[in-house]
Amino acid sequence: MPGIAVVTGFFSVVGIVIAVALRRWSARPAERFVWTAVSLTAISLVPPILFGADAATVTALIGLHLVAAAVMIPALARSLRARTD
């Protein structure tokens, strides 16, 4: 479980860096961030399926990906909208 927290934290920081970059260089940072983050989340769901783990492990990993995305994406998108409006 500590490994999952570390990887989730790392990729949350990557999401923050992407949001900051889009805020600086994009005319519509919130929209671009949501599209980018959703796309990267969809890509992140592929490896748990490909590693050949049992169904419970795959389900747990996909669920953890989706929970992290459900927390981070709206929060960062809201902050981008607030700063650009």
Region 15-25: mean pLDDT is 93
Residue 82 pLDDT > 90:
no
Token pair belonging to 7: 């990887």
pTM of the model: 0.83
Region 21-46: mean pLDDT is 93
Residue 8 pLDDT > 70:
yes
| Residue/partner pairs of 15-23 with CB below 8 Å, 24 or more apart | 15/72, 15/73, 15/76, 16/76, 19/76, 19/79, 19/80, 22/80, 23/80, 23/83, 23/84
